[in-house]
Amino acid sequence: RNLRQVRTDYNRFKCDVLLLEEEFEKLQISKFNRGESLLVAVLKLCCGIIFAILSLAWVLQIIMSVIVPQISGQPGPPFLNSLLAACEDAGLYPLGVALYACFNFYMLICVVKGCTKFGMRIAFFLSIHPMRAQNTPLNSILFNVEMLLVSSGALVQFSQTTFSDYARLTEADVIFSAQIQRLTFYRFFFENHIFIITMLTVFLIALIFLLVRPRDQGSV
C-alpha cells in the first residue's frame, strides 16, 4: 500500500512539473517573443477545426455503420463509405487510400494524446509520457510506441468494421469477419459490437467530462 501511494504521489508530481514547464514556456514566449507567432496560432486553429471534423465524422460513422444496423437489423447509411467508394469509382484510388489512412492515423494520434490526458486526470492509474519536440525521454518514446503497437490490431478491426464496404475482400476482412468473429469466446462480443459500443460510451463520458473541466489542474 505504501509503495502504491509513493507511485501515485510521484505521478502527481510529474503532472505538476509538466504543467509548470508548459506555463514557463508560455511566459517565455510572452516576455521575449511578445506572444506566439500569428502563423502558428492560425495553424493550431486550423488543426483544431480539422480534428473536430474528424472526431464528428468518426462518431457519425460509428452510429450509422454499427449502432443503426444493430437496432434496425438493416444496413445503415453508407456515409463515409460512399465517399471512399466515390473515389474508387472515379479512379482516384490514391485519394481514397489517403482519406482512409487519415482517419486511421487520427485514431492513433488520439491514443497518444488520450494516454497523456488520462494520466493527467487519474495519476494513481497511469504515469504520463508526453511527446515534446527535442525534449522527449527515451522511456516516453518507448511507452508511446508500445501503446501504438498494442492498439494497432484493435484499430485494424475497428476500421474494418466501420468501413466494411470499403474494406471488403481484404486480408483484414477475411481475418476479422470470417475467422476471429467465429471464435467461440469472442463471437458474442463481435456480433453485438460490445467493444465499439463501449468505446463510443467512453468517448461520450470523456467529452462531457472535458467540457466540464477542459483544463488540466495540478495538485498544488
* Per-residue model confidence (pLDDT) at position 46: 93
Q: Give the range among 5-14, 32-41, 115-124, 204-213 with minimum mean pLDDT.
A: 115-124
Other residues' Cβ atoms within 10 Å of the Cβ of residue 15: 22
Average pLDDT over residues 176-205: 80
Q: List Cβ neighbours of 69 (8 Å cut-off, separation of 6 or more).
A: 75, 76
Confidence of residue 125 (pLDDT cuts 50, 70, 90): low
Each residue's pLDDT tens digit, 1-24: 677 777 777 777 777 777 788 788
When the pLDDT of each residue in the chain is averaged and rounded to a whole number, the result is: 80
Q: What are φ and ψ of residue 61, in 5° steps?
A: -65, -40
Q: State how far Cα 81 lies from the chain centre.
A: 20
DSSP string covering 10-63: HHHHHHHHHHHHHHHHHHHHHHHSSS--HHHHHHHHHHHHHHHHHHHHHHHHHI
Higher pLDDT among residues 220 and 153, named by residue? 153
Of 52-56, 79-83, 204-208, give the range with the top mean pLDDT.
52-56
Confidence of residue 216 (pLDDT cuts 50, 70, 90): low
**What is the C-alpha to C-alpha distance for residues 14 and 25, in angstroms, rounded to an integer?**
17
**What is the C-alpha to C-alpha distance for residues 1 and 52, in angstroms, rounded to an integer?**
41
Average pLDDT over residues 183-187: 78
Each residue's pLDDT tens digit, 63-116: 888 888 777 777 777 788 888 888 888 888 888 889 888 998 998 888 888 877
